[in-house]
């Protein structure tokens, strides 16, 4: 996830210690609206085993899932142009953009699946609201998947499953996230009082409201920023993991700089045009055409000046080598192969094997890809060298480099993967060549579809056969999927 | 078949109105007769406490009186009798000993509302489908079954006058607020609520609250206050109708008479005035227009229509975004709005969103509905996604070469069955189709600005246009809420072609010394909503000049002088409202002022206004004569289309019935005589169309009535 977010939040916390009177007055008026959704969203801790029945149908006669098209609105730093939008609005724009450029009658869509992490209470099934708001008929079911940073990877995986099992032919999978409007709540005691107040009957009952309520209880509370199970901040985990794999500050800064420069280059050369759809923001309908998070002028000098954000003073993870708070949304069409062809669409790639893995959220919070990648390669009988395109989610530079180091380590392979030799090295020329989450941004719920879309587009542009997509997520989970370019 | 289904519930009779074979209920003689015999039964049945009237139609209570009933009656006396018959039964309801309630869901118009007013208790559903109105004024009539008497007594004089004089809709919230209805509830509970209402009244437990405000009571409660109201209403109405429409003053008369002489006399007087109005030529013309408009909302050959789901509009300017607007709001189409840059396309999306947002602010739709509707249009800057587009409507700059290029681009971006429609106002569609690989798919769809408000769509077919293409285009137009006429291709088609000589004649008069404001005034007096000079500015002088250029060869062939005066104005930098300088000067927040600089090019600053009637005739007859040329040359397929097109597209005075009805009513021979006299005096442009001369010779008319 992200580095300087925690700093921001504590600053905001300080700034928000005013207007409390207004807060609770408003609250008394809108008592029934209060609800709680946040605690668990950042702390997904369930073990989801990969289902073995779906593991080996690459060449069978069953239904093949293909990605036909994918797009995203530009990813923007939080608090910038999307500041007034809800996640619902962002999701709507992505869906609408996808519908506009594809010959699919919205009523023929079998399911809409959207990933999201920070949930807005008003739109807890944001997939449904975004779908309806984007003009998809009310007869198309929609559900929201939430699995931290791999939420929309899960959306795609669910879509693939529905297609393979013959339950669906056209899936709209996507993700949406705003970090510009995270739900700020009242403290537990105050919340309890407010809910209790609904039962008050006489005006004098309201005197009870203040009984036992201290000034501190009136302060707003920001969403949990730590791993629920361990109480550790994600940046700390990344920092510790970098130390474990011997990733230096310089290595991390260099990787971050690479990401920013590649994103800038790709944007300038128009290589992201295919996946970007312009966002037009009401009421003024200003047009946003590209991401605003990457810094083409980033240098080692600039990055070197930043102080450690989590482990002070000797830590190596800084705001500069972490992904930043981002708003954005993505959407893609996943279809059953024949259906796509009947619609006259040329699929970009087959969605082949995928898996989800999970480890100890304390020690290996962000190491998921090191487990998921060998597993998915084994299931297809392929190895890293066969991969022409690799798209890895970049939560922290230190995290990416740790994953690469783990894959390239014999001892890690022996101790953790139960294999004799290392998985191998990933050629840097194939990895995230258009930038990554560090530079393009990371709207949690939307990143997975970006990775898969980019990988599919790169396969075609770079004339490759296989693409590997992998990502880590809070809760110590991870995901990997292999795409095979669609020939013909 | 029965018009009324009667059942009993809790000692109350439930009467379900269900006109067989129709989508909506209309009040006609049969239904009234059945109702009358029901009342006989209700009167004597001691088990029944009262009755509830409800509709068996979806989203309709009663659409009004069946207008065919007027068509069948000629004289004022016959029409008065019709009104009297209605009164008889409505008065009986009003005075009935047992309470009768209405439970309204859906539209409740005209006679339907008057019937409700005669009942003793009114319940309506809380639904956007539920609308009340007394639209008789639009047909040149007055509410002739007690409306002029009962409505003011229920909701107050001023409000009642407003609704009767404009015919505008009243929605449930207002209806409740004003006391038109006694209760509003959800649509599945209206019957129960009405039953309860009947029981309350039967048990003597109901008293209606007066919803009029203190100020209203103060003003309306005494003869002097009412006198002020009536005189104000008369003044305002006269300003708006210019004395051309007899109905509004009669409505005021009817209401006033009722206040002076009591309800009973007022009701009787209403029938007399109704008869008088019904027999006027103005009302006849408006009723014919109504029928013409209804007919123009039907697809003649629906079997040929191919499905259209996705539309593309090229050009996101005023016209393009307007077309997109009606396509998503009324037509429920998915629309790609393409312009050269995404920013321009976004501007188009913005204008549509703004209108929707206004509606959301007024709570006509919710914010979510706004999002949902707005989502149907997507601004784009490329042909991506055009493969699945069924119909492309281009609204780009009026340039033949540009349009021909666009045809080719569109053809390569779209599938075999994609229709290409041009929204040109004057370029021949045949020329646009030159070089096309699928000319049979090319058609003209000429919308009028502002598209959201102007009801007409002029569809232009070429010799090559396939029938399914025409029928599909009509279907799309109808879904967009338009009244559609289909005309043949030719310079300026129909509407632009008849407008051109009209505008030309106005410029001639300007050149001869008439002042700008005078020309506008006399044509507004004649019945046009906008004068020709102001119209120049609205349409754009550049457009006017371009149209004149396109049409001049055709007029030159008939020996007409085709000097393009509009071009001179354009060369002098005048474009009309778009650059705030035209026949008038436009300053934000200020009233427009005459631009006297124009006179420099039109006969100097000395102005000398000509005789009003001659000037009106010269301007109007050029248009009317040209309409006949269009019929003669088969541009028009019927005089009805010609009348509709002129009224709905150009603002030809509706009370005159359109150019062709105007000729019939003035007398073909009279028109020919005037035109001949004008030809001698002013030149060959007034030469009557040969068809007109033939008809005069043979004593024929366009309509047989």
Homologous superfamily of B302-480? NAD(P)-binding Rossmann-like Domain (3.40.50.720)
Question: How many whole angstroms separate alpha carbon A66 and alpha carbon B491?
Answer: 52
Question: How many whole angstroms separate alpha carbon A86 and alpha carbon B367?
Answer: 13
**Residue B215: burial class (beta carbons within 10 Å; 0-12, 13-18, 19+):** exposed
pLDDT above 70: residue A27: no
Which chain A residues are closer than 8 Å to B387 by Cβ? 103, 344
pLDDT digits (tens, 9 = 90+) for B263-301: 999 999 999 999 999 999 999 999 999 999 999 999 999
Q: Which residues contact B336 (CB under 8 A, 6 or more apart)?
A: A100, B310, B311, B312, B313, B377, B378, B380, B385, B386, B389
Contact: B375, A102; criterion CB under 8 Å = no
Question: Among A95, A105, A90, A87, which Cα is nearest to A71's?
Answer: A95
Taking a C-beta distance cutoff of 8 angstroms, is the pair A484, A160 a contact?
Answer: no
Cα nearest neighbour of B338 on chain A: A100
pLDDT digits (tens, 9 = 90+) for B411-427: 999 999 999 999 999 99
Q: Which residues contact B279 (CB under 8 A, 6 or more apart)?
A: B74, B75, B76, B79
SS3 B109: strand
pLDDT digits (tens, 9 = 90+) for B177-225: 999 999 999 999 999 999 999 999 999 999 988 888 888 888 898 999 9
Q: How far is CA B19 from the centre of its chain?
A: 26
- How open is the CA angle A238-A241-A242, to the nearest 5 degrees? 85
Question: How many whole angstroms separate alpha carbon B456 and alpha carbon B498?
Answer: 15
Question: How many whole angstroms separate alpha carbon B376 and alpha carbon A137?
Answer: 11
pLDDT digits (tens, 9 = 90+) for B552-581: 999 999 988 888 888 989 999 999 998 999
Q: How far is CA A222 from the centre of its chain?
A: 20
Sequence-ordered strand ranges (E) for B448-587 = 456-461, 483-488, 584-585
Looking at residue A12, its pLDDT comes to: 45
Taking a C-beta distance cutoff of 8 angstroms, is the pair B395, B319 a contact?
Answer: yes
pLDDT above 90: residue B82: yes
Question: How many whole angstroms separate alpha carbon A106 and alpha carbon A100?
Answer: 10
Determine the average pLDDT of the residues in B85-114. 96
Looking at residue A208, its pLDDT comes to: 83
Question: Among A39, A31, A22, which Cα is nearest to A193's?
Answer: A31
pLDDT digits (tens, 9 = 90+) for A219-274: 888 876 689 999 999 999 999 999 999 999 999 999 999 999 999 999 999 999 99
Question: Among B398, B354, B358, B400, which Cα is nearest to B377's?
Answer: B354
pLDDT digits (tens, 9 = 90+) for B173-182: 999 999 999 9
Looking at residue A6, its pLDDT comes to: 41
Taking a C-beta distance cutoff of 8 angstroms, is the pair B406, B437 a contact?
Answer: no
Unique residue bearing structure tokens 């442009």: B685
Taking a C-beta distance cutoff of 8 angstroms, is the pair B419, B339 a contact?
Answer: no
Cα nearest neighbour of A136 on chain B: B372
Q: What is the percent of chain B with per-residue pLDDT over 70, rounded to a whole number?
A: 100
Q: How far is CA B157 from the centre of its chain?
A: 27
Tokens of B658: 């359109």
Instruction: List chain A domain ranges.
Output: 5-31+185-221, 234-271+352-481
Question: How many whole angstroms separate alpha carbon B368 and alpha carbon B375?
Answer: 10
Residues B460-465: contacts with CB within 8 Å, 24+ apart?
B460/B429, B460/B486, B460/B487, B460/B488, B460/B489, B460/B493, B461/B429, B461/B486, B461/B487, B461/B488, B461/B489, B462/B429, B462/B430, B462/B433, B462/B488, B462/B489, B463/B430, B463/B489, B464/B430, B464/B433, B464/B439, B464/B440, B465/B429, B465/B440
Contact: A96, B350; criterion CB under 8 Å = no
Question: How many whole angstroms separate alpha carbon A374 and alpha carbon A352?
Answer: 15
pLDDT above 60: residue A7: no
Beta bridge mates, A483: A351, A467
Question: Among B372, B380, B370, which Cα is nearest to B336's?
Answer: B380
Question: How many whole angstroms separate alpha carbon A181 and alpha carbon A118?
Answer: 9
Determine the average pLDDT of the residues in B229-247. 95
Question: Who has greater pLDDT, B519 or A51?
Answer: B519
Q: Positive or negative CA dihedral for B574, B578, B582, B585?
A: negative
Cis peptide preceding B450, ω within 30 of 0: yes
Taking a C-beta distance cutoff of 8 angstroms, is the pair A247, A402 a contact?
Answer: yes
SS3 A300: helix
Looking at residue B228, its pLDDT comes to: 95
Q: Output the furthest CA–CA distance in chain B (Å, rounded).
A: 86
Instruction: List chain B domain ranges.
Output: 4-279, 302-480, 496-698
Q: Minimal Cα–Cα distance from B588 to chain A, Å?
A: 21
Contact: B346, A100; criterion CB under 8 Å = no
- From chain B, which residues contact A within 8 Å (Cβ)? 309, 334, 336, 342-343, 346-347, 349-350, 353-354, 357, 368, 371-372, 374-376, 378-380, 384-385, 387-388
Determine the average pLDDT of the residues in B505-528. 95
Contact with chain B for residue A283, Cβ under 8 A = yes
Tokens of A219: 């302060």
Q: Which residues contact B95 (CB under 8 A, 6 or more apart)?
A: none
Confidence label for B705 from pLDDT (cuts 50, 70 and 90): low
Contact: B354, A283; criterion CB under 8 Å = yes
Contact with chain B for residue A99, Cβ under 8 A = yes
pLDDT digits (tens, 9 = 90+) for A382-395: 999 999 999 999 99
Contact: B334, A286; criterion CB under 8 Å = no
Cα nearest neighbour of B309 on chain A: A105
Taking a C-beta distance cutoff of 8 angstroms, is the pair A447, A149 a contact?
Answer: yes
Q: How far is CA A390 from the centre of its chain?
A: 17
Q: What are phi and psi of A52, to 5 degrees?
A: -65, -25
pTM of the model: 0.89
Q: What is the CATH code for B496-698? A: 1.10.1040.50
Question: How many whole angstroms separate alpha carbon B476 and alpha carbon B331?
Answer: 7
Query: What does each C-alpha distance from B225 to A208, B158, B218, B256 come to in angstroms?
Result: 57, 11, 8, 12
Most B CBs within 10 A among A280, A283, A284, hence the mutation to make, goes to A280
Least confident of A73-87, A186-200, B308-322: A186-200
Beta bridge mates, B17: B4, B55
Q: Minimal Cα–Cα distance from A96 to chain B, Å?
A: 7
Unique residue bearing structure tokens 């055709």: B554
- Average per-residue pLDDT for chain A: 88
Looking at residue B484, its pLDDT comes to: 98
Question: How many whole angstroms separate alpha carbon A76 and alpha carbon A177?
Answer: 11
Unique residue bearing structure tokens 């080996």: A56
Taking a C-beta distance cutoff of 8 angstroms, is the pair B330, B480 a contact?
Answer: yes
pLDDT above 50: residue B610: yes
Confidence label for B363 from pLDDT (cuts 50, 70 and 90): confident
For B220-244, letters b (16+ CB in 10 Å) and e give beeeeebeebbeebeeebeeebeee
Which chain B residues are closer than 8 Å to A97 by Cβ? 378
pLDDT above 90: residue B318: yes
Between B334, B350, B387, which is nearest A135 by CB? B334
Q: Which CATH architecture has domain B4-279?
A: Alpha-Beta Complex (3.90)
Looking at residue B364, its pLDDT comes to: 81
Least confident of A183-187, A206-210, A442-446, B449-453: A206-210
Q: What is the CATH code for A234-271+352-481? A: 3.40.47.10
Tokens of A488: 């013909």
Question: How many whole angstroms separate alpha carbon A131 and alpha carbon A116?
Answer: 14
- Average per-residue pLDDT for chain B: 94
Q: Are strands B12-17 and B4-9 parallel, antiparallel or unpaired?
A: antiparallel
Cα nearest neighbour of B312 on chain A: A100
Taking a C-beta distance cutoff of 8 angstroms, is the pair A372, A237 a contact?
Answer: no
Question: How many whole angstroms separate alpha carbon B454 and alpha carbon B651?
Answer: 10
- How open is the CA angle B233-B238-B244, to the nearest 5 degrees? 135
Taking a C-beta distance cutoff of 8 angstroms, is the pair A434, A458 a contact?
Answer: yes
Look up A472 and say whether it is catalytic: yes
Query: What does each C-alpha distance from B102 to A419, B58, B120, B145 come to in angstroms?
Result: 82, 16, 8, 17
Domains B302-480 and B496-698 share a fold: no
């Amino acid at each position: 996830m992200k580095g300087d977010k925690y700093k921001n939040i504590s600053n905001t916390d300080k700034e928000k210690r005013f207007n409390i009177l207004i807060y609770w007055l408003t609250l008394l008026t809108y008592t029934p609206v209060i609800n709680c959704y946040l605690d668990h969203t950042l702390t997904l801790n369930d073990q989801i085993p990969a289902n073995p029945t779906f593991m080996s149908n690459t060449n069978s006669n069953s239904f093949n899932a293909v990605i036909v098209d994918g797009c995203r609105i530009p990813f923007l730093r939080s608090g910038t142009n999307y500041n007034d939008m809800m996640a619902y609005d962002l999701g709507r724009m992505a869906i609408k953009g996808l519908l506009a450029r594809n010959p699919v009658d919205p009523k023929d869509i079998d399911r809409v699946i959207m990933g999201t992490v920070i949930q807005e209470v008003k739109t807890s099934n944001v997939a449904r609201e975004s779908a309806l708001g984007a003009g998809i008929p009310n007869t198309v079911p929609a559900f929201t998947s939430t699995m931290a940073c791999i939420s929309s990877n899960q959306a795609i995986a669910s879509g693939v499953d529905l297609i393979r099992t013959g339950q669906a032919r056209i899936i709209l999978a996507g993700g949406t996230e705003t970090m510009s409007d995270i739900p700020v709540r009242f403290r537990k005691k105050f919340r309890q009082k407010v809910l209790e107040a609904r039962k008050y009957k006489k005006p004098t009952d309201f005197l009870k409201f203040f009984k036992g309520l201290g000034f501190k209880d009136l302060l707003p509370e920001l969403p949990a920023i730590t791993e629920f199970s361990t109480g550790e901040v994600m940046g700390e985990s990344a920092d510790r993991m970098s130390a474990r794999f011997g990733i230096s500050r310089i290595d991390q800064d260099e990787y971050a700089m690479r990401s920013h420069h590649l994103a800038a280059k790709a944007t300038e050369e128009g290589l992201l045009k295919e996946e970007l759809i312009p966002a037009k923001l009401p009421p003024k309908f200003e047009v946003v055409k590209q991401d605003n998070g990457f810094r083409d002028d980033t240098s080692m000098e600039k990055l070197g000046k930043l102080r450690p954000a989590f482990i002070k003073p000797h830590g190596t993870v800084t705001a500069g080598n972490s992904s930043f708070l981002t708003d954005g949304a993505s959407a893609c069409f996943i279809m059953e192969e024949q259906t796509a062809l009947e619609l006259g669409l040329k699929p970009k790639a087959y969605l082949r094997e995928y898996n989800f893995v999970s480890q100890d959220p304390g020690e290996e919070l962000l190491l998921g890809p090191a487990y998921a990648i060998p597993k998915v390669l084994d299931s297809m009988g392929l190895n890293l060298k066969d991969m022409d395109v690799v798209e890895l989610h970049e939560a922290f530079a230190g995290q990416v480099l740790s994953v690469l180091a783990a894959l390239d380590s014999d001892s890690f392979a022996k101790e953790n993967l139960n294999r004799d030799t290392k998985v191998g090295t990933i050629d840097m020329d194939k990895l995230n060549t258009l930038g990554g989450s560090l530079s393009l941004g990371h709207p949690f719920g939307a990143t997975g579809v970006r990775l898969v879309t980019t990988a599919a587009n790169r396969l075609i542009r770079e004339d490759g056969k296989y693409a590997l997509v992998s990502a880590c997520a809070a809760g110590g989970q991870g995901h990997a999927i292999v795409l095979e370019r669609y020939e013909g | 078949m029965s018009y009324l289904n009667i059942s009993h519930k809790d000692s109350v009779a439930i009467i379900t109105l269900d006109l067989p074979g129709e989508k909506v209920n209309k009040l006609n003689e049969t239904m009234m007769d059945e109702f009358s015999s029901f009342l006989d039964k209700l009167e004597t049945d001691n088990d029944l406490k009262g009755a509830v009237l409800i509709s068996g139609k979806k989203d309709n209570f009663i659409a009004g009186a069946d207008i065919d009933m007027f068509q069948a009656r000629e004289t004022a006396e016959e029409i008065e009798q019709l009104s009297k018959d209605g009164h008889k039964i409505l008065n009986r309801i009003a005075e009935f000993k047992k309470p009768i309630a209405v439970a309204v869901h859906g539209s409740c118009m005209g006679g339907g509302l008057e019937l409700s007013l005669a009942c003793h208790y009114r319940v309506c559903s809380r639904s956007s489908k539920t609308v009340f109105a007394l639209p008789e004024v639009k047909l040149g009539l007055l509410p002739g079954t007690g409306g002029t008497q009962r409505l003011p007594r229920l909701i107050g004089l001023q409000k009642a006058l407003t609704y009767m004089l404009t015919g505008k809709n009243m929605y449930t919230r207002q209806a409740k607020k004003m006391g038109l209805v006694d209760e509003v509830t959800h649509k599945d509970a209206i019957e129960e609520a009405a039953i309860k209402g009947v029981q309350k009244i039967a048990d003597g437990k109901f008293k209606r609250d007066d919803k009029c405000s203190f100020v209203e009571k103060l003003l309306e409660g005494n003869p002097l206050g009412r006198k002020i109201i009536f005189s104000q209403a008369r003044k305002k109405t006269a300003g708006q109708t210019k004395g051309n429409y007899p109905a509004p003053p009669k409505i005021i008369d009817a209401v006033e008479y009722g206040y002076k002489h009591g309800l009973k006399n007022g009701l009787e007087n209403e029938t007399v005035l109704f008869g008088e109005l019904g027999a006027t030529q103005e009302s006849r013309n408006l009723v014919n227009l109504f029928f013409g408009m209804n007919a123009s909302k039907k697809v003649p050959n629906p079997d040929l229509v191919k499905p259209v789901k996705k539309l593309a509009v090229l050009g996101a300017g005023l016209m393009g975004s307007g077309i997109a607007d009606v396509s998503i709001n009324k037509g429920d189409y998915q629309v790609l709005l393409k312009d050269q840059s995404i920013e321009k396309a976004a501007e188009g999306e913005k204008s549509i969103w703004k209108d929707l947002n206004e509606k959301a602010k007024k709570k006509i739709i919710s914010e979510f509905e706004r999002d949902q509707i707005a989502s149907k249009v997507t601004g784009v800057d490329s042909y991506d996604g055009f493969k699945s587009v069924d119909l492309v409507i281009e609204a780009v700059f009026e340039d033949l070469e540009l349009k021909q290029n666009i045809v080719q681009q569109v053809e390569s971006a779209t599938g075999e069955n994609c229709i290409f429609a041009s929204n040109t106002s004057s370029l021949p569609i045949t020329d646009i189709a030159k070089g096309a690989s699928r000319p049979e798919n090319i058609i003209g769809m000429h919308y009028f600005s502002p598209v959201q408000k102007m009801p007409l769509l002029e569809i232009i077919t070429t010799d090559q246009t396939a029938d399914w293409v025409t029928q599909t285009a009509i279907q799309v137009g109808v879904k967009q809420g338009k009244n559609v006429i289909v005309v043949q291709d030719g310079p300026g088609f129909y509407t632009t072609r008849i407008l051109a000589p009209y505008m030309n004649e106005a410029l001639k008069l300007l050149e001869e010394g008439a002042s700008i404001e005078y020309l506008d005034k006399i044509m507004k007096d004649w019945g046009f909503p906008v004068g020709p000079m102001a119209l120049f500015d609205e349409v754009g002088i550049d457009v006017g000049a371009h149209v004149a250029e396109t049409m001049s060869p055709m007029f030159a062939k008939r020996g007409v002088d085709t000097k393009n005066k509009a071009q001179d104005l354009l060369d002098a930098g005048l474009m009309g409202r778009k650059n705030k300088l035209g026949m008038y000067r436009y300053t934000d927040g200020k009233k427009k002022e005459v631009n006297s600089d124009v006179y420099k090019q039109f006969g100097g600053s000395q102005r000398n206004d000509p005789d009003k009637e001659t000037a009106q005739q010269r301007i109007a007859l050029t248009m009317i004569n040209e309409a006949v040329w269009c019929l003669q040359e088969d541009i028009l397929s019927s005089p009805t289309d010609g009348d509709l097109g002129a009224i709905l597209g150009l603002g030809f005075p509706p009370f005159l019935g359109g150019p062709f009805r105007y000729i019939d009513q003035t007398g073909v021979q009279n028109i020919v005589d005037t035109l001949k006299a004008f030809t001698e005096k002013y030149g060959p442009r007034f030469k009557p169309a040969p068809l007109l001369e033939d008809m005069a010779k043979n004593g024929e008319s366009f309509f047989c009535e």
